[in-house]
A = this chain, B = another copy of it.
Amino acid sequence: MVGGGFGGLQATRSLANADVDVVLVDRRNHHLFQPLLYQVATAVLSPASISMPIRSLLRKQRNARVRLGEVTAIDTERKTVHIAGRERNEDLSYDWLVLAAGATHSYFGNAGWEADAPGLKTIQDAIQIRQKVLQSFEHAEWTSDPDVRRKHLTFVVVGAGPTGVELAGALSEIARRTLVEDFRNIDPAEARVLLVEGGSGVLGAYPDGLRESALRQLRQIGVEVWLESRVVEIDHGGVTVQRSGHEAPTRVDAGTMIWAAGIEASPLGSQVSGDTDRAGRVRVGPDLSLASHREIFVLGDMAHTMGADGEPLPGMAQVALQGGVHAAHSIQADLASRPRATFRYRDLGSMATIGRSKAIAWIGGLEFGGGIAWLVWLIVHLMALVGFRNRVVVFFEWAWGYLTWNRGSRVIHNRFGPLDTPGPKAEGTRPPPSASPQSA
């Protein structure tokens, strides 16, 4: 079991009563409830509220062990998995292998953009974005130059998928409501939140009516949306965007840029299969295993799984969860010498939130937007959170935020540095004086 996200964790749990030993390997010690990660980035929630130690989650499951470490090599002949920094004799061997290592940002060949426009996949990413956003307001408070101030109060989100939409909406609310009374020299309502999207609308995967509704709701809370616009350059001072219908590219000076435009599957996929799609996802058979290695399953964001409509399934928690259940059932079928079943994805609906009382939802063919969608979103996400403790804390934070417009988690961990240092300083660590910079 490689990966403690929705897919890997679910597959492990579904094997609780099977006569197998499960070893779950992850390079992080926690399962992350990624759908709420943007709320950590926008200072609503603390990291601990949406993450649970994998060990605690599997404490009661006696056939499961957890190993922290990063899988760097898979030997499909010897059937072993190698972990970074471990000896070869510590390689883990397997009878079945479930790969659910997820995906990371893709900059489409412009990896250099990452330094100035980070993506949002991990708690580290979220803390980094949170610090960048909060620091931008502090920089704006210092300066007396209106151009510099405008730059620091400009936030650009690239990509209008669910993450981009949710981030842009939350940023606009922070700027216009949460921070309004906290600053003396600046008017946070001057803040400009720009959402840049290459396609013809936001939230490409949704039906047209909802996409238009989402666009309308975004604009209501003050997000500027540029459609059919392509980012051609990102540097430390801003972005350059080619808008459709404009001849010359438009330059936007910005203090904060966030990348939500594309993802790329874990490179582990290419170690077990040559058959990957453009995003590096492994094409799997109808039982989610590889045609060449039926003992290897690939799940979730790493997998190119064909849906009933002939389109690959989207990178959503539901797809990974159901895939995890299916992989576990297939392993149990093998144990019982039964034939494996075919994976059928049950679409339980999807939804995205835009702001306070603003959301869209698409459930069982029904489309709705606004306050009702937002309430449904709240309830579904609260119920889906793993762990009773987290549910209570998140409920309290949300209720508190709703009543007071405050954000509970507005902590910049590191010291506030001089203007225009490239990115926030390292947090949580001081490089040991004896260590080389690379090892810190």
Interface residues, chain A, CB within 8 Å of chain B? 27-30, 46-49, 51, 53, 55-56, 59-60, 65-70, 84-86, 90, 111-112, 114-116, 118, 123-124, 127-128, 131, 134, 138, 141-142, 179, 181-185, 389, 392-393, 396-397, 400, 406, 408-419, 421-435, 437, 439-440
Check A422 against B439 for contact (C-beta < 8 Å): yes
Check A414 against B115 for contact (C-beta < 8 Å): no
Q: Which 7 A-B pairs have the closest CB atoms?
A: A85-B418, A115-B432, A437-B437, A427-B428, A426-B426, A68-B416, A55-B182
Check B56 against A416 for contact (C-beta < 8 Å): no
Of all chain B residues, which has the CB nearest A179?
B55
Check B434 against A48 for contact (C-beta < 8 Å): no
CB distance from A244 to the nearest CB of B (A): 31
Q: With A112-B434, A115-B433, A408-B48 in contact, is A426–B428 under 8 Å at CB?
A: yes
Please indicate the chain B residues that have their CB under 8 angstroms from the CB of A84 in the complex. Answer: 417-418
Q: A128-B429, A393-B396 are in contact. List 11 more A-B contacts (CB 8 A).
A: A29-B138, A46-B48, A47-B411, A60-B181, A68-B142, A116-B432, A124-B427, A124-B428, A124-B429, A413-B428, A422-B435
Contact of A426 among B408, B418, B440 (CB under 8 A): B440
Check A409 against B48 for contact (C-beta < 8 Å): yes
Please indicate the chain B residues that have their CB under 8 angstroms from the CB of A29 in the complex. Answer: 134, 138, 410-412, 416
Please indicate the chain B residues that have their CB under 8 angstroms from the CB of A413 in the complex. Answer: 47, 123-124, 127, 428
Q: List 18 contacting pairs A-B, 8 Å CB cutoff, sorted by A.
A: A46-B47, A48-B409, A48-B410, A67-B142, A69-B142, A84-B417, A112-B434, A115-B430, A115-B431, A115-B432, A124-B413, A124-B428, A128-B428, A128-B430, A423-B431, A426-B428, A437-B437, A437-B440
